[in-house]
A and B are shown apart, each in its own frame.
Chain A
Amino acid sequence: MLKVKTWARCGVLAAATLLSSAALAEETVVWWDFLAGGDGVRMKKMISDFNEEHAGKIKIDATTLEWGVPFYAKVQTSVAVGEAPDIMTYHASRIPLAVQQNLLSEITADDWQTMGLGEDDFAPSIWNAVSVDDKTYAVPIDTHPIVLYYNKDVLEAAGLLDENGNPKGLDSREGFTSTLRALKEAGSVKFPLASVTADGNFMFRTIYSLMGQQDGELMTDGEFLAGDNAGKLENALSVLQEWTNEGLQSTYTDYPATVALFTSGEAGMMINGVWEVPTMTDLRKDGKLFEWGAVELPVIFDHPATYSDSHAFAIPTGKDMSPEKRAAVLEVMSWISEHSLFWATAGHIPANRNITDSAGYKAMEPNATYSSLTANMIYDPKTPLAGVAGPIFDVMSTYFVPTLNGEMEPEEAVEEITYELNDLQ
């Protein structure tokens, strides 16, 4: 009997010690992200800066996971079994799906107040992207559109730069195609344009941008590619196929090869996400890259438009979070948002307006050159079927690859896409 009592007493003591130490100890915030490129290096730097500044109070315990389907599948399963992180990066385009799956904890008005942030600190399109039915589910960090990268040395030698040092012919389909043709004739590169033609998932961004330039919409009143939207998609595909047929862009090229074609000087230009800016900056710093630049996508159709998505921070559901822990998570979000000027060196455009309005940001290159495009950004349609690595991406990509490499006519591709998209519902 005595023994049992002693044991029990020990247990109570141990529990008490644990509890009291937990109250005193620093709050550990478990963090998941999918940032594995040059931007990941910069995010790790921000995390270590945060940890240093909050030593003894908050500590971020970060893990980087595989981008895309693996990341989102893991989030889903971890929430289901109550093993989700405290904070995670999320694509704004996937928020409608996440809300339907009940994966995200709402960011309440109180939370925003605690963070010292609010609707006014973000562009309306970004704020809208993280909201579903007037509730917000994530704190936007950035927007990351695609841009046109170009090799200044090669273009200059071919006489294809204007007085501002930008490529010629950015204002029309004819103009840009003739720039590509001139580059081909100059013979200094293997391909005028490096394009991710083997990966339809990636090409969604380019093609959706070209649709946006004609005011095309993917989804209207719950129907896909209704009315003349199908024709607009066909137009977009035709331009790209024309470039392939004339040998103006690389064919069957996957993502890493596209970047390699550009950085090795084998391709004169490249359409890619701003997240490759750090790759170029770092190579250039080591003296391994030519003189380069990045500008807003050329206007192939009626007016400028660029597809964009946002990285955001979200809090998963399915966990009983103590108020202290939630406060720590909010502090992380607000700190990163406030310090996102450094995040801009990763190429992304910070979501926080106070940062993009600052003199420091306005002096940053090449960001300042392409940040004008924020006025022309278009986002994914707001449906649970949208989002990176989501069902719409998947269906469209199936038909993009054969079309862009000349195996299938744009007209047929559009028919197939329309059929399959409507079959998704």
Chain B
Amino acid sequence: MIRNRKKEALVALVLIAPFAATYGLVFVYPTIDMFVLSFQKAPLIGEGRWLGVDNYTRLPGDRRFHTALWNTAYFVLLSVVPGTLVALGISLGVSRLSGRLQALVLALFFLPYILPVSVVFRIWDWTLNFQFGIAMHIFDLVGIDRIPIFKVTDWFMPAVAVITIWWTAGFSILLFLAGLRAIPQEIYEAASLDNAGTWTTFRRVTWPLLWPVTALVLTIQLILQLKIFDQVYLFSQGGRPNDNLVMVYYIFQRAFVNNDGGRAAAIAVVLFIMVIVISVLNFQLMRFSERRS
């Protein structure tokens, strides 16, 4: 059969068109617009006026930007690697169980993941509220001083990181479990024939063979946690949001509270570039370590 290349191309174009149009409309166009907006003095909605790079040059001297940048980095540090390790540990434990017990334990660990963030907030506020939290009554019983966890800056980020790990570990656990199941049993048998101990087996067999999954989990976590917003927003409600600012929160604040679309866009561009650079670096690093092993 003679293929009509022209016709094929046309069909392909027609098939791609809806996606391309949607993608262009809801992603490419707004992204370009964001870049343009970041060079303007503009309200959230409506025409702006050209400003040049002012929105960017004032960022280094902007205290809130510093807070947001630092808090985001701190949160990533507190959540990405620890979260991945916790999930790995739990999945190693769960994989030793079998049958219904395994299903039950897995369900228990996965349960928090299906909760909406607002419910997560409610649960932990009930638990840790300074005046009425359940945990505070336990503190009183044991004789420890109450801590206003979400109201002091030293405690805020670590607490939110722990809660985030508790909340999102379920998904990483599933990925790790799938990875563990994909490792052939024969390798473990061979290892045990060679008299390898538990630690050696983990270090020489499980860890290297699981590395692609670990790398995936780390990358997903990294990108996700750089964009943290919901938890920080909710837990600083009625508290001190400006001390707990993270990048996305700061964008929201400039855009929706201060009605300053230009400055908000400039911060968004910075975050956008940060996410791209960090992801690419991360990806290269993973590839490098994969090749070495």
Contacts and interface: CB of A to CB of B under 8 A. Distances in A.
Interface of A: 69, 73, 76-77, 80, 97, 101, 196, 198-200, 202, 250-257, 260-261, 389-391, 394, 397-398, 401-402, 405, 407, 420, 424
What 4 pairs between A and B have smallest CB-CB spacing? A252-B148, A254-B238, A398-B242, A252-B151
Contacts of A397: 240, 242
A101 B132 contact: no
A405 B45 CA distance: 38
Nearest to A73: B256
B278 interface: no
B239 A254 contact: yes
Given A256-B238, A398-B240, A80 B132 contact: no
Contacts of A401: 151, 239-240, 243
A424 B257 CA distance: 12
A295 to B, nearest CB: 25
Interface in B123-137: 129-132
Nearest to A267: B131
A199 B45 contact: no
Nearest to B133: A257
Contact of A200 (B131, B240, B258): B240
Given A254-B238, A256-B238, A76 B131 contact: no
Given A101-B43, A253-B130, A389 B151 contact: no
B71 to A, nearest CB: 14
A69 B242 contact: no
Contact of B152 (A97, A252, A391): A252
Given A76-B259, A77-B45, A257 B239 contact: no
Interface string B40-74: 00011110000000000000000100000000000
A389 B259 CA distance: 12
Given A252-B152, A257-B129, A394-B257, 10 more contacts: A73-B256, A198-B151, A200-B240, A252-B130, A253-B131, A260-B131, A390-B257, A401-B240, A401-B243, A402-B240
Interface in B226-251: 237-240, 242-243
Contact of A257 (B43, B130, B253, B259): B130
A245 to B, nearest CB: 16
A199 B148 contact: no
A198 B131 CA distance: 11
Contacts of A257: 129-132
Interface in B60-111: 63
A68 to B, nearest CB: 10
Contact of B132 (A199, A260, A402): A260
Contact of B259 (A101, A251, A253, A407): A101
A260 B133 CA distance: 13
Contacts of B63: 420
A198 B148 contact: yes
A335 to B, nearest CB: 33
A72 to B, nearest CB: 8
Contacts of B152: 252, 407
